[in-house]
Amino acid sequence: MAKKGEIPYPLFETRRATDGWLITYRLFSISLFIGIFSIWLYRFSHLFNIHGGVEEEDDDGEKSWVVWVGSLAAELFFGLYWLLTQALRWNPVFRQTFKHRLSQRYEHSLPGVDVFVCTADPDKEPPMMVMNTVLSVMAYDYPSDKLSVYLSDDAASEITFYALLETCSFAKKWLPFCKRFHMEPRSPSAHSDGFCLPTSSDHDDDSIWIQELAAIKKLYDDMERRIEDATKSGQVPRDVRSMHKGFSQWDAYSSRRDHDTILKILLHTKDSLNSKDADGSVMPTLVYLAREKRSQYHHHFKAGAMNSLIRVSSKISNGKIILNVDCDMASNSSESVRDALCFFMDEEKGHEIAFVQFPQNFVGVTKNDLYANHVQVFNKLEAHGSDGCGGSLYIGTGSFHRRDILCGRKFNDQHNTINDWNNDDDDQLIMEESLQKQEQESKPLASCTYEQNTLWGSEMGLIYGCAVEDVMTGLSIHSKGWRSVYCNPERKAFLGAPLTTLGQVLVQQKRWAEGDFQILVSKYSPPWHAYGKLSVGLQMVYCNYCFWAPKSLPILYYCIVPSLCLLKGIPLFPKISSPWFIPFAYVILAGNTSSLVEFLSCGGTVQGWWNEQRMWLYKRTSSFFFAFVESILKLLGFPLASGFAITTKVAEQDASQRYEKEIMEFRGSSPMFTLLATLAMLNLFCFLGVSMDALISEDGFIRVLKRMILQIMLCGVLVLINVPIYEGLFFRKDKGGLPTSVAIKSTIFALSACVLFKAMNFIT
């Protein structure tokens, strides 16, 4: 403990990348920008002298200005976007917490923590998965009387409520078991192989450990069987329903979109009779909430659920720190709360920090990460770069927030948060009220009409009107002067279920891209709304994601036009003998090499990097493009009927087996699959066409290669990337392939485009 007047040792340390790494990377970036600028110069200098500058031997070059201007526009966008990405790499910072110092100073004055777990569909988010997440956060290494867990069920499912009752009973054995044997992680499903040994191996041969392990595993298996039986039948056992009065709240239930508020406090730290575990210790508060839904009111999806939780929890527990996690993101470390508090309670910097963001990590990802689930470069590099620019983005899960800031408190550099936490009388209020009274008084806070004519959704809580309410909320918080930090400890704080089909990935990415584009054209737009409120670097970070959807246009151009130009012999890039070939070759080679080095340094494999390049292309040519089109139509007053898309966490057995073998899963037809297949077929036809022309050409194959080597390479790489699509179209016999209808449509569309382009006179 520091003496009076002395500055105590900090609760966290910030370390920047080594000077050698920064200097090397910045020099490399400068050289790459020189190459990009040279490409721009090449395009501009030849814009009005195409015949003489592009290919003097090409009689048709003089008339190829249309595609030339398109190439210029695409490369301008690519270069400017690349500049935005540099904010994520220019100054990364790394944080280390000192939890022992936190315990020494504040163990007896730790703030209350409210954990919000959100679920919305028991069919796509299995109750058993949700319950494992609930159990994992209930078992945090934190004073139980200061920990509260809230489950928001936006489906208002009796099955989910029943599963939570079962979980409540199991937790009375599970929590003391975890603490006694120092279990890590504390989600039972993480030990599905028979429960691994505890982190402290002193009990390896202890008969007590063996006996308790067998007992707890049997309890878990029994609970799992009962919950899964109820899930399959769609009914709660009659004896359970009649015994627990909480089920009576479903008597007036009509549908998921038409029901009253359903609220039940299952455990409360002040209920000394019913809220103790098997060892007699107090258990965390546990609350079930299904907010009121009416068809005539917009419920604002996850943002609305979070705001209802904020209000309801303020009446029941009023924890000063709020953690929100997705229902599939179980805690993997029992010390995550203490890690977060090291930032909030730091005497020198803590008052500036609004939220602490932990990364999303996934368990069960294949060795080569078929769908780029791991986002390794983002977690291990880019997010640290964002932190170095002034704050981590709020990504909607694994996020610790100060309650008062979420409720709209403005930034005050002199504010002393620790004193606020120590002078809190809310616990006394809770002791004086019955649980039933708290339930009844809290229900109106989750009603459909509560937010009318209030600041909720605009200045308070999560922001409405955006598909990525988390990112917009984080931007709003940063714009008010608050900072955030990114915490990526050695032991991963949360582990979730990866997406195991291409369709799931594309749907999720479409929603994200659409939401980010909505931010760009909203009043919160980073380029102008945040100007002067955020550092330039943090503005660039936000813009990096807000331009996802528009970025689809130049990428689609590069995937289509250069390949089609091969059919007409129109060169868009300099000959291999031209000095202008050098900047193109350097940017391509250096850019891809640095990308590969980054990926490998973050723990990936070469095949994993190639898979990431494939998913990079698939997402930008389908998800991002559809997000852009739908957003523009919505701005023009022609909104398409689309709602919040929940990505399913359930995979059929045969699909899971194919995922483990790293075989891409398509299964079914969708406009995005048709677009991807059409692009794949178009590039295949163009590549085969130019190959045939080169073989029979009088100029000879070598001459064609010299004239259009970069275009041929680009088209060839696109063909290689699309190999899984060709397999899905023509060679796969399993259910995971693409249907015949997609094969027919994509072939017709691609051939039509080739024939039409070949016949267009104004191009040549």
pLDDT digits over 615-673, tens only? 999 999 999 999 999 999 998 888 765 555 556 655 677 888 899 999 999 987 889 99
Report the length, in residues, of the chain.
Answer: 764
Residue 470 appears among annotated catalytic residues: yes
Out of 114, 153, 339, 470, the active site residue is 470
In this prediction, residues 293-315 reach a mean pLDDT of: 94
Contact between 621 and 96 under an 8 Å Cβ cutoff? The reply is no
Task: Give per-residue pLDDT as tens, 339-366.
Answer: 999 999 999 999 999 999 999 999 889 9
Half-sphere exposure of 318 (CA within 13 A, CB side): 15
Task: Decide if 110 contacts 142 (C-beta within 8 A).
Answer: yes
Residues 6+ apart with CB under 8 A from 557: 70, 71, 73, 74
Q: What pTM was estimated for this model as a whole? A: 0.91
Q: What is the mean pLDDT of residues 495-517?
A: 93
Q: How far apart are CA 397 and CA 328, in angstroms?
A: 10
Give the Cα separation of 342 and 99 in Å (integer). 7
SS3 614: helix
Q: Contact, 666 vs 740, CB < 8 A?
A: no
pLDDT at 52: 41
| pLDDT value of residue 653 | 77
Burial of 744-764, coded b for 16+ CB within 10 Å and e otherwise, reads: ebbbebbeebbeebeeeeebb
pLDDT (average), residues 426-445: 72
Question: For residues 410 and 479, what is the distance between their CA atoms, to the nearest angstrom?
Answer: 10
Residue 328's pLDDT band, with cuts at 50, 70 and 90, is very high
Q: What is the pLDDT, as a whole number, of residue 671? A: 93
Q: Catalytic site residue 154? A: yes
Please state the domain extents for the chain: 123-512
**pLDDT computed for residue 6 by the predictor:** 59
Confidence of residue 213 (pLDDT cuts 50, 70, 90): confident
Average pLDDT, the chain: 88
Neighbours of 111 (CB within 10 A): 21
Secondary structure (DSSP) of 246-275: GGGGGTT--BTTBB--EEEEEE-TT-TTTS
**CB atoms inside a 10 Å sphere around CB 3:** 6
Residue 368's pLDDT band, with cuts at 50, 70 and 90, is very high
454 vs 241: CA distance, rounded Å: 38
Residue 614 to residue 718: CA distance in whole angstroms: 9
Cα(575)–Cα(585) distance, rounded to whole angstroms? Answer: 11
Please say whether the beta carbons of 85 and 126 come within 8 A: no
Catalytic: which of 154, 260, 346, 516?
Answer: 154
Q: pLDDT > 70: what percent of the chain?
A: 89
pLDDT over threshold 70, residue 57:
no
pLDDT digits (tens, 9 = 90+) for 388-402: 998 999 999 999 999
pLDDT at 445 over 90: yes
Most confident of 34-38, 251-255, 576-580: 34-38
